[in-house]
Amino acid sequence: MLQKEDYLPILAGVITSSIFGFSFLFTKRALDYLDIFHLLALRFTFAALLLMVLKALGVIKIDFKGKRLGLLILLGICQPVAYFICETVGLELTTSSEAGMMIALIPVLVTILGAIFLQEVPDKKQLLFIIISVIGVIFIVVMKGNREVDGNLLGMFILLGAVFSAAFYNIISRKSSLQFKPIEITYLMMIMGAGVFNSISIFNHFREGTIANYLVSLTNLDVLFAIFYLGVLSSVLAFFLVNFTLSKLEASRSAVFANLTTIISVIAGVFFRGEPFYWFHLVGGLMIMMGVWGTNYYGRVKIIEESNLDY
């Protein structure tokens, strides 16, 4: 019988996928007024300031004393810094289909790296369901209409950098959870994101002579609401839940939840942006859900069987 603590990481993964799935709506709204690095700077500044206030009020406790920060800094370099830079630049150089197919490789790479660095080797049934989930994502992306592979080759390599960044983030977060609490990992991630993306954005504004307008955009209610969603929910809460999930589940099982974001994004597009819903969305979505269920179900079965063998 599965206990409550067995379901909590799975619930956290589903909530995270939902938050990330809806985040594109708010990102697109904010991008009507801001460039990508300005948006990222404001998003992570909002998130970092929120966590700093909560820390000052004693709501959350952050204690890095006596802990190896090197591993955590490496995690922050992978995610959010390297991932968001590679994804943003890569998307500008390739088609959306090519980008979607590349990002869909993250669970596969996480599984490979998890087996190498964490000795978390999935069994054949788990591997089968991971592949089914990834195929579901690729199927949706390919069937959305753009089947031409005409993107910039450099862009494909940069997107591959995003895939590796996300995969290594999953592995490092899993290892970091042995020393750090999920909120401590999230805290440093937000601080690093705010520092790096503000540096890039401020440099761009100085170069363009628009530094005086840096915070003026926050007077726009659409931008302010989008930054609130992206900063509080999609950064602080979502990444906390990701780090919590990674502290409880094997990296390969945690990574599969990312594919649920595709389903949530499609649903959000249909109901809030009037985007069409086709048969391949349903087929691909069912494959993704089947993959997530099977990976986690057989992962729990394997853990229970291994526990019984210990007796």
The two three-digit tokens of residue 149, written as one number: 């592979």
Distance (Å, whole) CA 58 – CA 53: 9
pLDDT digits (tens, 9 = 90+) for 155-202: 778 888 888 898 898 888 888 888 898 889 999 999 999 999 999 999
Name the phi and psi angles at 21, rounded to 5: -65, -40
The two three-digit tokens of residue 254, written as one number: 């945690």
Q: What b/e readout covers 110-137, taking b as 16+ CB neighbours within 10 angstroms?
A: bbebbbeebebebeeebbebbbbbbbbb
Longest dimension (CA), the chain: 69
CB 299 within 8 A of CB 126: yes
pLDDT digits (tens, 9 = 90+) for 95-140: 555 565 666 677 777 777 878 887 777 778 878 888 887 788 778 7
Q: What is the DSSP string of 279-307?
A: HHHHHHHHHHHHHHHHHHHHHHHHHHHHH
Residue recorded with tokens 């992962």: 299
pLDDT digits (tens, 9 = 90+) for 47-56: 999 999 999 9
